[in-house]
Chain A
Amino acid sequence: MTKDDPNNEASSESRPTAKKAKGGIDVVEATDDRLVERLRERFGDAIHSAVIMVGQRVVVVAVDSLAEVLTYLKSGDELKFDLLLDVTAVHRPAETPPFELVYQLCSTSTLERVRIKSGIEDGASAQSVTGIWRTANWLERECFDMFGIVFEGHPDLRRILLPEGWEGHPLRKEYPVEFRENRWVADTLNIHALPDDADFSGKVEI
């Protein structure tokens, strides 16, 4: 957890992948933050932006150096973000790049937290962090399952919540929330789409 810094004025740009925050939310450029300074020192332009939002540190990193930054955060000299809380993604089809990987890190010794984000193209693959944190294994599998983002170097990248052979990745925005005809369901469970004149009222005559 970091504190808000009221002395800095809210930044209006510098967040290429997120929408501009309006009204109420303080998005503060993280300037005098030690962690961000060290990251900038070491990785330079790979750190796209670093802001503090709702009291939380958000660092946007170039996808190519994502694995390096995360390795550094885990085992760099003083930093010890040893607990990887979450790996997930956000799909924004209208923006480039359309996907955003989100890593939530926490340190069990200093209790500091940081969120690392990185934009990624559709169809591009990201470096797996399973070698850095074992916990990334299932989290990356879920991310692959839900968004279709491929993690290179993952030991066992297959679907985890949905069955093998499922078509599509449900958390992409183009995937409909309603049921649609699905080959997996038809083949495996023998459930077929209802005819057009089907009665959807829920009333079944018995």
Chain B
Amino acid sequence: QHKQLSGVTSGCQQGGCLTCSDYNGCLSCKPRFFMHLERIGMKQIGVCMTSCPPGFFGTRLPERNTCTKCRSECDSCFNKNFCTRCRAGFYLHLGKCLENCPDGLIRSDTQRECV
């Protein structure tokens, strides 16, 4: 059984779903789960997760928990302005994905960081 995304089964079998439909997947999530709309072809499937997928960051609020897209140059991020891993060709320094590192630091392609 293959999975589209690490840790998540689509449709109604997901552990985090509160209400769901076979066609649209999760319609609402249990408390403390993140709701994310995953695009599969033309369809959008609701997915309830304990952490947002790569390229998104989670924001917890009293009434709901949402996934929001990181900046384009980030593979993963803590919030909109703070990356935790960069896309290829960018190098991480204090939460920023830079094309060039500040003076005194060099680019590490394996870690994609200024070191």
A binds B: no
